[in-house]
Homo-oligomer: A and B are copies of this chain.
Amino acid sequence: MPRSNIKTFRKGGLPIKVTIKEVAKHAGVSISTVSLAINKKERVSEELRQRVVKAIDELNYRPNGLARSLKSKKSKVIGLIIPDIVNPFFPLMVRGVGDTAKRFGYNIILCNTDGEVKEEATFLRLFEEKCVDGIIFTCAGRIKKSLSLLNELSIPKVILDRRLDDLSIPTVTVDNTKGAYMATCHLIGKGKQRILFISGPDQLQSSLDRLNGYQQALTENRLAVHPELITYGDFSFEGGQKALKDVIANKISFDAVFGANDMMTLGAMMVLSEFGLDIPGGIEVVGYDDILLASLFKPALTTVRQPAYEMGCEAVKMILRAIHSKKTWIPSKVFEPQLITRESSPGN
């Protein structure tokens, strides 16, 4: 009964994949029995099940996921769009997404937009064609721009690390306003009065929120918000360097620096050192994100930690909820930021 040569070869030399049909024949049962044995084990008699298992094993059968998905309308794939995996903030988040997805039997297609909004459309279309079951999306620019694209799709989606005013799509975020508020208050508590704020790109809501938190902290502590102490960078190391050099060139005085992300802040710190300014003796510095680099740099950077890994995990759980419950509305999740004090601005 069992054939001697397990694999059949076609001309090219590649082994032809074993199909459910051959398993059925080999086990002496019908196709549907094999399918049932695989998917609904209970509904097949023990004897036949055994025979099927044996056949599967002997033929080294692997169900064709494409056919399966085509039929079942479930691909067990989640599409993940992020700006750039090379940006040190994202790898941890991606790990969170990947690990959690795997835990629940899902896999991810990873796409980097590299900050190009038009790429988002391409990837979204791709996801539709690939029939992904859900989409986790971290947009590159203004969320508004991407929103219409997203809303066209009937695929469940979650927005990650980007806040949205309306509640049309669930989001996973950190309270950026609060994080910046905490950092600024910390600096104020250390007696700082002229805190330089290096903001991020103003298309990002996160940037605006952080700027807001900074201003709020100043105001609440009856400190003036000096426009010349608010500068902008592009979230890169070089951007931070440039921002600080400009400030220094303009002879604007400050007694502390708070950067809207760690990379810029580190860049700024580098310039501070170059100009012989002591950290934290002269200038205290606080960043935002808590990337690995922050703790390894000299001096180690005080920063506002975002739970990137957990955010990734949460996004997956949320998308799974959206996939399985047919509910229209899924509540968003806001994580708490956490101030990590290190050498660049020690705790009290």
Contact = CB atoms under 8 A, between A and B. Distances in A.
Interface of A: 12-15, 17, 60, 62-67, 69-70, 75, 77, 84-86, 88, 90-92, 94-95, 98-99, 102, 107-112, 114, 125-126, 128-131, 152, 154, 237, 266, 270, 273, 292-293, 296-298, 326, 328
Contacts of A15: 154
B292 A270 contact: no
A336 to B, nearest CB: 22
Given A91-B91, A108-B110, 6 more contacts: A64-B131, A65-B129, A66-B66, A85-B94, A99-B114, A298-B298
A144 to B, nearest CB: 21
Given A110-B110, A297-B297, A130 B65 contact: yes
B298 A296 contact: no
A85 B292 CA distance: 13
A200 B86 CA distance: 24
Contacts of A292: 88, 237, 293
B64 A129 contact: yes
B85 A107 contact: no
A109 B107 contact: yes
Contacts of A273: 298
Nearest to A62: B128
Leading 3 A-B pairs by shortest Cβ distance = A65-B129, A66-B70, A110-B110
A67 B70 CA distance: 6
5 contacts: A13-B328, A66-B69, A85-B94, A107-B111, A297-B298
B99 A112 contact: yes
A91 B85 contact: yes
B109 A108 contact: yes
Contact of A63 (B12, B102, B129): B129
Nearest to A71: B66
Nearest to A298: B298
A84 B98 CA distance: 11
A91 B86 contact: yes
